[in-house]
Amino acid sequence: MRALRPLAIALAVLAAGALAPAHAEVYKFPDRVVTAGGSFKPKRLPAKRMAPIALTVNYSIRMRDGSFPPTLERMVLDFDRDGRMDVRGLPRCRAERIAGVGSPGALRACRRALVGRGEARVLVDGPDEDLQAKARLLAFNAGRVGGARTVLLHARLAAPEPVTVIAPVRITKAPGRPYRDRAEISFPELGEGVSLVGFKATFKRRWRHRGKRRSFVSARCSWGALQVRGALHWPEGDFARGLIIRTCRRR
């Protein structure tokens, strides 16, 4: 297993300053350049009470020498105790209802369970040149699967041939006292010569349950920032870990 230490160093510096733009974190390794980050809205939050937010997460990769990049296998995000994910009372979507269909079909089947939208990018290794394809990304609440709160990321890829991809997001208790929720995204194999090279997703959903207003993602601003511990995993054991801190303002 090879740890890509430059990412951990870059994230630690970012945490100290917390001044970098939300979508401009570029981490350079000897063989690859990775962009990974996120943001949330609104920035003004209560100091003690949780309030609804929209959370955006993004990732992209390219190789320094222009070679074909490795696909992302897993992303792990640990949110501190000032952030929370909630699915109580939210309609659920089973994976079989959205398997084998495109975005319109998935929305017809599970619109009431929708918690996020975005875009995914894959690279297909061609004989003469690589082909990049984009796909609409949808996120659906699946309820508890295997004892864990689960969200399903759904995308219909058009290249190299049409295929529906579903990536589960398991939400469990994060290890370590400063953290509350862990979101672990497991990306399926896309086939030989196909690599997930980027995605951007925004998670936002509000509803009422038992007379209370609820939000899929909520946060508060108890000390002036929100903290996320992240890890990226690629094939052959390559991984990178780090810490991101985003400033907030109390209201």
Q: What is the pLDDT of residue 8?
A: 45
Q: How far is CA 213 from CA 63, 207, 216, 244, in A?
A: 45, 6, 11, 29
Q: What is the pLDDT of residue 155?
A: 98
Q: Which two tokens stand for residue 18?
A: 């917390």
Mean pLDDT to the nearest integer, 193-219: 96
CATH number of 5-250: 2.60.40.740
Q: How confident is the model at residue 10 (pLDDT cuts 50, 70, 90)?
A: very low
Q: How confident is the model at residue 159 (pLDDT cuts 50, 70, 90)?
A: confident
Dump pLDDT digits (tens) for 148-157. Answer: 999 999 999 9
Q: Which two tokens stand for residue 85?
A: 């994910």
Q: How confident is the model at residue 158 (pLDDT cuts 50, 70, 90)?
A: confident
Comparing 63 with 16, the larger pLDDT belongs to 63
Strands 44-45 and 249-250: parallel
Neighbours of 179 (CB within 10 A): 18
138, containing H or E segment = strand 131-145
* pLDDT of 50 strictly over 70: yes
Contact by Cβ (8 Å): 44, 207: no
What residue spans of the chain are helical by DSSP H?
A: 5-17, 95-98, 103-110
* pLDDT of 16 strictly over 90: no
Quote the DSSP letter at residue 95.
Answer: H
Position of tokens 């509350």? 180
Q: How confident is the model at residue 93 (pLDDT cuts 50, 70, 90)?
A: very high
Query: pLDDT exceeding 90 applies to what percent of the chain?
Result: 78
164, containing H or E segment = strand 163-173
Query: pLDDT exceeding 70 applies to what percent of the chain?
Result: 90
Dump pLDDT digits (tens) for 64-89. Answer: 999 999 999 999 999 999 999 999 99
Contact by Cβ (8 Å): 150, 36: no
Contact by Cβ (8 Å): 82, 222: yes
- Residue 88: name the closest of 211, 217, 209 by CA: 209
Query: What is the 3-class SS of 210-224, one letter each residue?
Result: CCEEEECEEECCCCC
Contact by Cβ (8 Å): 139, 151: yes
User: Dihedral sign, CA of 95, 96, 100, 104?
Assistant: negative
All residues at 6 or more sequence positions from 51 whose CB lies less than 8 Å from its CB, including other chains: 45, 215, 218, 219, 220
Q: Which two tokens stand for residue 237?
A: 């054991």
Mean pLDDT to the nearest integer, 222-236: 94
CA distance 45 to 65: 44
Neighbours of 213 (CB within 10 A): 9
Q: What is the pLDDT of residue 25?
A: 75
Mean pLDDT to the nearest integer, 175-187: 94
